[in-house]
């Protein structure tokens, strides 16, 4: 479906955007990929790294609606991955988080198809999660307003991406050089997702989407203490307490959402509760009453040995 298509990626110089670009350029005969982001240096580095004539670069901010509309002109598919994502930074800069994560989403919603969301949008305990929860609602209900344009809007929701920019693995590796690793809470668990799997899942969702769905991959869980052991088993651990806005466990589907969700072999789909637009209901298996998809009650876990291999 990507053959001869023009794809726009907002936040295109981020961890997801770069991996998405790498895979699409390598595996698909797309016409062009437009990289939309604020950083000229990162764009220049990306241009040198990929050296592909199908890449186009647009300096801009999703807060600037005129620039967003210009970048989207003629695009067939829009992957909206731009966001302020670091929880403590969003907590201390709430206005900036709202301007980028909510008002920015409003600016792209008329043309975007897939929006990248997060576990923190589920039962949000921090501002970042709250802004992403609003973003999900904006994209789902945008299907009510696309009208004659026939644009379809869906979301992909997943948790922290392993080894992405700003994630805990680079932090643990750096701390381990000094012989100790900081742990916020010894009970903490997370889903395990690589950048490659995240990109593959977005591409799969593009194929399946009808409009209004939230796609959620099935993932293994890890204990953060096991991850620290896999990075450096001899390092001591210092428990520092949960940071402001941080969750002990990731939740990707709540019990309330489970009532209008379906299960497939490798993923779940949260269906829209009020589809005022024409949509095809998915044929997956309904979820049992009381189901919740949480990293601490997950059926699949990675051992320290498996984590060492993956790292």
Q: Could you tell me which residues come within 8 angstroms of residue 156 by beta carbon, excluding any fewer than 6 positions away?
A: 114, 115, 116, 117, 201, 202, 205, 214, 215, 216
For 78-117, how does the pLDDT look when each residue is reduced to its tens digit (9 = 90+)? 999 999 988 889 999 999 999 999 999 999 997 667 777 8
Measured N-to-C along each axis, helices 40-50 and 15-27 cross at an angle, to the nearest 10 degrees, of 30
Strand-pair category, 236-239 with 189-191:
unpaired
Which pLDDT score is estimated for 112?
A: 66
What is the CA angle 71-54-47, rounded to 5? 85
CA–CA gap between residue 226 and residue 238 (Å, rounded): 14
Q: pLDDT tens digits, residue range 157-214?
A: 998 888 777 678 989 999 999 999 999 999 999 999 999 999 999 999 999 999 999 9
> What is the C-alpha R_g of the chain?
19
Q: What is the pLDDT of residues 216-253, one digit of tens each?
A: 999 999 999 999 999 999 999 999 999 888 899 999 99
Alpha-carbon distance 115 to 140, whole Å?
Answer: 10
**Tell me: the pLDDT tens digits for 2-59?**
999 999 999 999 999 999 999 999 999 999 999 999 999 999 999 999 999 999 999 9
Q: Are 182 and 246 in contact (CB under 8 A)?
A: no
β pairing state of 55-59 and 180-183 = unpaired
Closest CA to 271 of 214, 218, 217, 216: 214
Q: Is residue 84 within 8 Å of 96, Cβ to Cβ?
A: yes
Within the chain, what is the greatest distance between any pair of CA atoms? 61
**For residues 103 and 131, what is the distance between their CA atoms, to the nearest angstrom?**
9
Alpha-carbon distance 258 to 289, whole Å?
8
**Cα(211)–Cα(206) distance, rounded to whole angstroms?**
10
Main-chain phi, psi angles of 121, to 5 degrees: -75, -15
pTM of the model: 0.89
Q: Please say if 31 is a catalytic residue.
A: no
Burial of 180 (0-12, 13-18, 19+ CB in 10 A): middle
The catalytic position among 19, 85, 120, 132 is 120
Nearest to 79 by CA among 45, 44, 33: 33
- The confidence score (pLDDT) of residue 296 equals 96
Tokens of 161: 């991406």
């Amino acid at each position: 479906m990507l053959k001869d298509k023009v794809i726009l990626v907002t936040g295109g110089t981020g961890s997801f955007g770069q991996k998405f670009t790498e895979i699409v350029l390598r595996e698909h005969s797309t016409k062009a990929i437009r990289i939309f982001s604020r950083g000229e240096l990162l764009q220049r580095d990306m241009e040198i790294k990929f050296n592909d004539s199908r890449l186009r670069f647009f300096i801009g901010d999703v807060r600037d609606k005129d620039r967003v509309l210009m970048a989207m002109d003629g695009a067939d598919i829009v992957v909206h991955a731009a966001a302020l994502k670091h929880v403590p930074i969003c907590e201390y800069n709430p206005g900036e988080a709202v301007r980028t994560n909510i008002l920015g989403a409003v600016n792209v919603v008329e043309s975007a198809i897939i929006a990248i969301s997060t576990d923190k949008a589920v039962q949000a305990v921090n501002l970042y999660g709250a802004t992403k929860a609003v973003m999900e609602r904006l994209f789902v209900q945008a299907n009510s307003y696309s009208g004659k344009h026939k644009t379809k809007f869906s979301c992909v929701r997943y948790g922290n991406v392993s080894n992405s920019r700003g994630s805990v693995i680079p932090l643990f590796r750096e701390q381990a050089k000094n012989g100790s690793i900081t742990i916020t809470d010894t009970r903490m668990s997370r889903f395990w997702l690589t950048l490659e799997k995240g990109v593959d899942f977005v591409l799969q969702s593009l194929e399946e989407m009808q409009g209004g769905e939230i796609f959620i991959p099935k993932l293994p869980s890890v204990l953060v203490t096991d991850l620290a052991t896999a990075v450096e088993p001899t390092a001591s651990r210092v428990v520092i307490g949960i940071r402001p806005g941080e969750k002990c466990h990731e939740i990707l589907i709540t019990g309330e959402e489970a009532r209008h969700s379906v299960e497939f072999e490798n993923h779940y789909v949260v269906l829209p509760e009020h589809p005022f637009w024409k949509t095809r209901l998915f044929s997956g298996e309904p979820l049992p009453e009381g189901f919740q998809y949480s990293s601490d009650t997950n059926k699949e876990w990675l051992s320290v040995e498996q984590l060492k291999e993956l790292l």
